[in-house]
């Protein structure tokens, strides 16, 4: 069994040794330009077109992250980058769900307990208690009902929040009011006090965080974007913040990363920014997932996390 690895921004050695340890029978190597030797599987992040295009004999291509939009965009720009018929497989949980839970809960509780406002008061040396938010009037909507959205919803329910979800197709989550499809998006947003975005980036979800959606939220609501920067119409958020329709926003992802130094988000008093750290790929968990999927493919079973190229996730 031959496995090739490519990641332009990480040390390859722990990955190579980790896969070899888990699959002693495998020949694992870092791919370099000009490498045309046989390969059964490819582990990649932002691979050059020449790496995968000619390899129609691959049994699987593993993307070293939960998002596959970058490699699908590459295929869109340069058709044939992905060899036809080869399964594209994304990492499912691999520790990302826990990280998303931590980030989402920290942000939700910061807004629910109004700690963001008290921080502003501290800067102004104001001693001013505020009326507490009540769970009964603090409905949280989650865009995206996949593994990450489900994990976040479960933790919020444990904390007695009212939670609803929206997805492209029907999903049923315990204790969650579920909505799906374009026809139900307005109803989903209506009355939400806080919105968490965990959608995958697809042509259908680009720009979904926009003026129309914001107008359906409760006045003075909150936004947490953990999906992709392309989901958010930046100007619509700034306008909603200025109008008071959105009280505050926490943003972890942006259309252009790093965020341009002159972008108004940097200086807006009601916008909190983090540098796309919501959930990192954890190598050990990721390698366990990849090896389990390789073993499934070798045994004739369908891998977990295979991407539907027509849907983009």
Catalytic residues: 228, 276
Residue from 194, 143, 132 nearest 167 by CA: 143
Q: Which residue has the tokens 């914001």?
A: 214
Report the alpha-carbon distance of residue 142 to residue 176 in Å, rounded.
Answer: 10
Q: Which residue has the tokens 């980030």?
A: 103
Q: Which two tokens stand for residue 175?
A: 């204790």
Bond from prior residue into 296 cis (ω within 30 degrees of 0): no
Q: What is the DSSP letter of 205?
A: T
Report the alpha-carbon distance of residue 146 to residue 279 in Å, rounded.
Answer: 15
The answer to whether the beta carbons of residues 61 and 92 sit under 8 Å apart is no
Angle made by CA atoms 275, 280, 283, in degrees to the nearest 5: 150
Q: In the chain, which ranges are continuous DSSP H helix? A: 12-22, 49-52, 69-77, 96-112, 115-123, 147-158, 185-189, 211-216, 234-243, 283-298
Residue from 285, 198, 209, 199 nearest 241 by CA: 209
- Measure Cα distances from 288 to 75, 87, 92, 144 in Å: 27, 18, 11, 25
Report the alpha-carbon distance of residue 254 to residue 266 in Å, rounded.
Answer: 12
């Amino acid at each position: 069994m031959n496995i090739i690895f490519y990641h332009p921004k990480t040390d390859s050695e722990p990955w190579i040794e980790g896969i070899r340890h888990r699959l002693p029978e495998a020949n694992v190597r870092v791919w370099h330009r000009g490498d045309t030797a046989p390969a059964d599987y490819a582990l990649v992040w932002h691979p050059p077109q020449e790496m995968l295009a000619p390899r129609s004999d691959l049994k699987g291509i593993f993307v070293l992250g939960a998002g596959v939009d970058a490699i699908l965009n590459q295929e869109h720009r340069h058709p044939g980058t992905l060899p036809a018929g080869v399964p594209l497989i994304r990492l499912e949980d691999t520790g990302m769900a826990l990280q998303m839970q931590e980030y989402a809960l920290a942000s939700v509780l910061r807004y629910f307990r109004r700690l963001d406002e008290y921080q502003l008061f501290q800067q102004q040396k104001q001693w001013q208690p505020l009326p507490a938010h009540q769970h009964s009037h603090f409905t949280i909507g989650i865009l995206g009902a996949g593994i990450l959205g489900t994990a976040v919803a479960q933790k919020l329910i444990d904390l007695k929040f009212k939670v609803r979800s929206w997805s492209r197709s029907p999903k049923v989550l315990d204790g969650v009011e579920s909505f799906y499809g374009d026809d139900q998006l307005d109803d989903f947003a209506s009355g939400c006090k806080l919105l968490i975005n965990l959608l995958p980036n697809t042509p259908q979800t680009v720009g979904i965080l926009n003026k129309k959606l914001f107008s359906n939220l409760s006045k003075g609501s909150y936004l947490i974007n953990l999906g992709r920067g392309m989901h958010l119409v930046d100007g619509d958020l700034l306008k909603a913040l200025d109008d008071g329709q959105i009280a505050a926003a926490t943003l972890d992802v942006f259309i252009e990363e790093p965020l341009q130094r002159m972008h108004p988000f940097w200086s807006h008093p009601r916008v909190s920014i983090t540098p796309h750290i919501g959930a990192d790929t954890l190598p050990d968990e990721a390698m366990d997932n990849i090896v389990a999927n390789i073993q499934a493919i070798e045994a004739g079973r369908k891998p977990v996390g295979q991407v539907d190229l027509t849907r983009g996730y």
